Amino acid sequence: MPVNIPETAQKRIVIIGAGFGGLKLAQKLIGSGYQIVLIDKNNYHQFQPLFYQVASAGIEPSSILFPLRKIFQDQKDVYIRVGEVYSVDPDKKTLQTSLDTVWYDYLVLATGVNSNFFGMKSMEEYAIPMKSVSEAMALRNRLLQSFEKAVTLWDQNERKALLNVIVVGGGPTGVEVAGAVAEMKKFVLPKDYPDLNFDVMQISLIEGSGLLLGVMSKNASEKALFYLNRLGITVLLNTRVTGYDGSKLSLGDGSHLETKTVIWAAGISGVVPEGFPVESIGRGRRLIADEYNRVNGFEDIYAIGDVSVLSSVDYPNGHPQVAQVAIQQGRNLARNFLLMKKNAGLIPFKYIDRGSMATIGRNRAVADLSFLKFSGFIAWLTWMFVHLMAIVGVKNRLLIFINWMWNYLTYDQSLRLILWAAKKDPTKIISPLDRK
């Protein structure tokens, strides 16, 4: 049975994924004459750049989430359906979902990416990724649970393993979460746990290449390394991780590090439903798209955002996997759908690079703008402003701003709560603390 969606004379565009790209596309198609069906496994849009602040107890999860039905209130041609998409049948132009069958005239995949553990099953089982708000909450729980258990132990080696935190991946997510945990160690944890010696707590960042923030400039990479070192973080470059058993992280040189908390911020894999031929899928299981975002081999299927690989002269290996690319692709694709109704020529996608930024704790950030590269306090203020303005909803912006100001003035966070949905972690990640 097909999912209950009104049958009309309008052409139906089905968008899978309500991230930056899918949301922008749906918003731009309001009142276009198309029927828009937006499918996502969650009933909300989540602001991924601030996951690390949820993980470090800086802001509430609800501050970076916004209900989809609130966004599209009173929009008669937009239909929200909450469910997972399992497979695509391009010949029948249907989707098999957790709800039932959905047909389409045009299909847009904006499904984003998941973590890629490169075949390391133990890492997948024990490490915590950072690709959803539930995983960010799992990390917050893991950190706080480790501190609560450490304070009960006499054995110093066991305490140290619980306190140690290792971040794998030196991109923006890895750098930002490492900096946030270091600031917790410096300003917050000694006040909460006066009977623990946080001088023995070691925060490490491991990167397989020779540079941090590989998508940014050399100056940004060097500054990030400088800031991380100032925060007392041990940075291991050109270091390969080979496995993790929940207690020991194995490295490529045969050595190992003892820790109960490994944060995985390295490697991505596209979220692609079954049904696509191998020639449509590129490196990292991402869909190969042309300059109009059409998936290779199809005229009525499109891919935007992180799940797509769109090569150009300026970006032969595909565009950066940042929010601005997804937003601009969603906007351009919406324009082309409108042109198709008029049988007019389509506009190829051209990315306008407005720059990249990353923050490494209080008063420390790096910014690569198209016309200027800078770092420090001004870059940090710029980072805060840009991200605050990008948040969906005035209420959410206000809540985040208040939290940021409170944290800045008091050197404290008030959100250090261990919250479980049930007896076990809702993300189904096995905690090493619960191992027998």
The predicted structure's pLDDT at residue 408: 79
Give the pair of three-digit tokens for residue 135. 């995983």
Could you give the percent of the chain with pLDDT greater than 90? 75
Place of tokens 């609800």: 62
Mean pLDDT for the chain overall: 91
Sequence-distant (6+) residues with CB within 8 A of 104 are 12, 13, 14, 37, 93, 94, 95, 300
Q: Of these residues, 176, 222, 258, 299, which one is catalytic?
A: 176
Q: What is the CA radius of gyration of the chain?
A: 22
Query: Which residue in this structure is represented by tokens 């110093």?
Result: 156
N-to-C CA span, the chain: 46
Question: What's residue 420's pLDDT?
Answer: 67
| Out of 44-53, 194-203, 329-338, 389-398, least confident range | 389-398
Q: Quick one: CATH architecture of 121-266+362-434?
A: 3-Layer(bba) Sandwich (3.50)
Same fold for the domain at 12-41+83-115+268-341 and the one at 121-266+362-434? yes
Task: Write out the DSSP string of 217-263.
Answer: -HHHHHHHHHHHHHTT-EEE-S--EEEE-SSEEEETTS-EEE-SEEE
Q: For residue 205, what are the β-bridge partners? A: 167, 235
Region of 368 (left: φ > 0; alpha: ψ -120 to 50; beta: rest) is: beta
Q: Tens digits of per-residue pLDDT, 193-210?
A: 999 999 999 999 999 999
Show Cβ contacts of residue 45 under 8 Å, excluding neighbours closer than 6 positions.
18, 19, 23, 65, 66, 68, 71, 392
Instruction: Indicate whether 433 pLDDT > 60.
Output: no
Q: Is the pLDDT of residue 379 over 90?
A: yes
Euclidean distance between CA atoms 421 and 423, whole angstroms: 7
Mark whether 60 is an active-site residue.
Answer: no
Whose tokens are 């709560």? That residue is 417
pLDDT of residue 314: 87
List of residues 6+ apart from 232 with CB closer than 8 A: 182, 185, 186, 203
The CA–CA distances, whole Å, from 142 to 121, 305, 370, 435 equal: 20, 30, 39, 13
With contact defined as beta carbons under 8 Å apart, do 378 and 359 qualify? no
Q: What is the pLDDT of residue 402?
A: 86
Q: Token digits for 107?
A: 């299909």
Please tell me the distance from the alpha carbon of residue 286 to that of residue 325, in angstroms, as a whole number. Answer: 15
The pLDDT of residue 425 is: 47
What tens digit of pLDDT does each residue of 266-285 get?
988 999 999 999 999 998 89
Give me the pLDDT at residue 436, please.
Answer: 39
Span 86-99, mean pLDDT?
96
What pLDDT was estimated at residue 13?
A: 98
For residues 72 and 419, the answer to whether their CB atoms sit within 8 Å is no
Work out the average pLDDT over 348-369: 92
- Domain coordinates in residue numbering, the chain: 12-41+83-115+268-341, 121-266+362-434
Pairing of strands 256-258, 248-251: antiparallel
Q: Which helix (H) or strand (E) holds 405?
A: helix 394-410
pLDDT tier at 414, thresholds 50, 70, 90: low
Kindly state the percentage of the chain with pLDDT values over 70.
95
Q: Can you give the pLDDT at residue 62? A: 87
Torsion of CA 336, 342, 344, 350, to 10 degrees: -10
- Decide if pLDDT at 336 tops 90: yes
Of 109-113, 345-349, 426-430, the one with minimum mean pLDDT is 426-430
Burial (0-12, 13-18, 19+ Cβ within 10 Å), 300: middle
Whether residue 35 has pLDDT greater than 90 = yes
Give buried/exposed letters for 145-168 (b at 16+ CB in 10 A, else e).
bbbeebeeeeeeeebbbbbbbbbb
pLDDT score at 407: 81
**Placement of tokens 């991109």 in the chain:** 171
pLDDT the model gives residue 434: 55
Q: Which CATH superfamily is domain 12-41+83-115+268-341 in?
A: FAD/NAD(P)-binding domain (3.50.50.60)
How many angstroms separate the CA atoms of 154 and 353, rounded? Answer: 53
Could you identify the residue written with the tokens 């261990």? 418
Cα separation, 113 vs 284, whole angstroms:
9
Residue identified by tokens 């194995």 is: 250
